[in-house]
A and B are shown apart, each in its own frame.
Chain A
Amino acid sequence: MTVMDADRAVAAPADVGASIAISNVTVVYGAGGTEPVTALKNINLQVKDGEFVSLIGPSGCGKSTLLKVVSDLMRPTGGQVTIAGASPSQMRKAGRLGLVFQQANLMPWLTIRRNIGLLKSLVKGHGGKVSTTGASAEELLDVVGLTGFGDKFPHQLSGGMQQRAALARALALDPAVLLMDEPFAALDEITRDRMAFELMRVWQQYRKTVLFVTHSLGEAVLLSDRVVLMSPRPGRIHRVFEIDLPRPRTPETRLTEGFSKLVLELNRELYEVMS
């Protein structure tokens, strides 16, 4: 019964997007050992369909662990996650999770175009259903601003451009959700800033549900509908901030009083969490 529901959810048209429900998720490292470490404790979080949610917090708060659980790279010790009604594992096998990592992780022997098409061909290759509504590699190159770079190899691109290609590769799957783990952390400040606006533009276009891990307060406020502040030892959700800044947000948004107030408040809370 649940399996049937899950299957239907996986097959749901992608433009509907999907919601993420995290309920009572607990992760204990070295459970059963002499010194188990609780990385996450009773995490409850709902991400609405098409919503952009950032996870932020000091190191050790488990934000990356939480993202790993949602992307099925790690099994939680307790609790469960559902994405569009299915388990993360089902979604992963169906190729419906779009992951973007801190490193671009492009295959150095493939052209950018073939890198973008790689995941799709892998899913096809192991018998998964590939969404036909997804954009072609060529369209995606345009979307992420890499027009004309399809025949280049990764080493011929700058760090920021490589990360754009990684985003395009994730989008090529036409994923239900985008899960991004500090995707801009390895970039320099200026490129990083530009990438934030690029991501926002792409997000406006596709309206994917996004779960975004970052440690930049400004970035989180600028991009998100909600910012989830987590606290360490054990990792818990400390407070959720609603970001009601009007969209579309521009570089001017950062000059507004509303923006500064939110960042300041977030900053204050962060210090409270850390002390």
Chain B
Amino acid sequence: MTDIQNTEASIATPAPAARGITLRGVIERFGPFILTAFLLGFWEFAVRFFKVPAFLLPAPSQIAVLMYNEWSLLQMHATATITSMVSGYLCAVFFALLVSSIMIRFPLVEKCVMPIFVALQSVPKIAIAPLILVWVGAGFHSKLLVVTAIAFFPIVINTMTGFKEVDRGLRDVFTSVAATERQIFFQLRLPYAMPYIFAGLRIATTLAVLGAIVAEYLAASNGLGYLVLSGSFNFNTARSFAAIISLAVIGTSFFWLMSLIESRLSWKRRASGDQTTQE
């Protein structure tokens, strides 16, 4: 066996690349930041040079000043959005996993329910948001429901795909010692489906932000969505921009947090031809 170790070690150490700071290296690494800075600078310059009125397009510096001055206002509305978004998301995760587990345990339930889910998946859930408002009324509960409704489906569909795609060979291993249904679920299906479940969870984060904003557009007296809308009604465009930037930060952080949790809890699907990784 030592010979195998040796060969792998020799493969693992390719000829060291030429080190040192090159222009190409700097661009590869910091390119996006440099480009963003350049575009912001251009925006600032254009607004000042052409004297664009602030209600049409505020300069980045004006937005930054406003964000600094109105920080507590932004914070308050951001808290409202995050609260409804996260609670709606958690509801969606809970019910999606529960429903998927029931469906995989009782195939008859799956036969009846799954086609409906697949059909509903293609209906834009945003379209039913006004109805939810009619039924539940404006406020936290309607926001939560819209977010749950929109985030639920991708999680269910991905989870079911993972549960059902369990490799036949892996199943045979469990069968060979007469493993119970419970063991098969918790030690085979669930871990096997993890990459699928997290794919669904990641899609759902984006949708949850979207759901929260739409609910706030429709009827709400707080939240960043409300702030964007009221800013544009009052020609306070800088404030709308400030709210949009906050939303972008929240959405990205949410997505990033999910990826972090995924790297802790899940394994990655790899093609069988993948190169042996060295650590």
Contact = CB atoms under 8 A, between A and B. Distances in A.
Nearest to A109: B267
A147 B4 CA distance: 11
Interface in A14-37: none
A105 B167 contact: yes
A93 B5 contact: no
A92 B174 CA distance: 11
Nearest to A120: B177
Nearest to A173: B177
Interface in B161-195: 167, 169-170, 172-180, 183, 187-188, 191-192, 194
B111 interface: no
Contacts of B180: 125-126
A145 B1 CA distance: 6
A103 B176 CA distance: 14
B124 to A, nearest CB: 35
Contacts of A95: 177-178
A197 to B, nearest CB: 13
Interface in A106-158: 107-109, 118-119, 122-123, 125-126, 128, 145-148, 153, 155-158
B276 A156 contact: yes
B274 A146 contact: no
Contacts of B178: 92-93, 95, 126, 128
Nearest to A145: B1
Nearest to B1: A145
B1 A122 contact: no
A156 B277 CA distance: 6
Nearest to A147: B1
B179 A126 contact: yes
Contact of A101 (B4, B172, B174, B179): B172
Contacts, number: 72
A92 B175 CA distance: 8
B172 A108 contact: no
A161 B5 CA distance: 11
Interface residues of B, number: 28
B270 A155 contact: yes
Contacts of A71: 176
B177 A122 contact: yes
Nearest to B175: A73
Contacts of B274: 155
A222 interface: no
A99 B1 contact: no
A103 B5 CA distance: 23
Interface string B255-279: 0000000000011011000101100
Contacts of B1: 145-147
Given A105-B170, A147-B1, A123 B177 contact: yes
- 9 closest A-B pairs by CB: A109-B267, A105-B169, A145-B1, A93-B178, A99-B176, A95-B177, A109-B191, A103-B169, A155-B270
Interface of B: 1, 4-5, 167, 169-170, 172-180, 183, 187-188, 191-192, 194, 266-267, 269-270, 274, 276-277
20 contacts: A73-B172, A92-B178, A95-B177, A95-B178, A97-B177, A101-B173, A105-B170, A107-B188, A107-B191, A108-B267, A109-B194, A118-B187, A119-B173, A119-B176, A122-B177, A126-B183, A128-B177, A145-B1, A156-B276, A169-B173
Interface of A: 71, 73, 92-93, 95, 97, 99, 101, 103, 105, 107-109, 118-119, 122-123, 125-126, 128, 145-148, 153, 155-158, 161, 169, 173
Given A107-B170, A161-B4, 8 more contacts: A92-B177, A99-B173, A103-B169, A105-B169, A109-B191, A119-B177, A125-B180, A147-B1
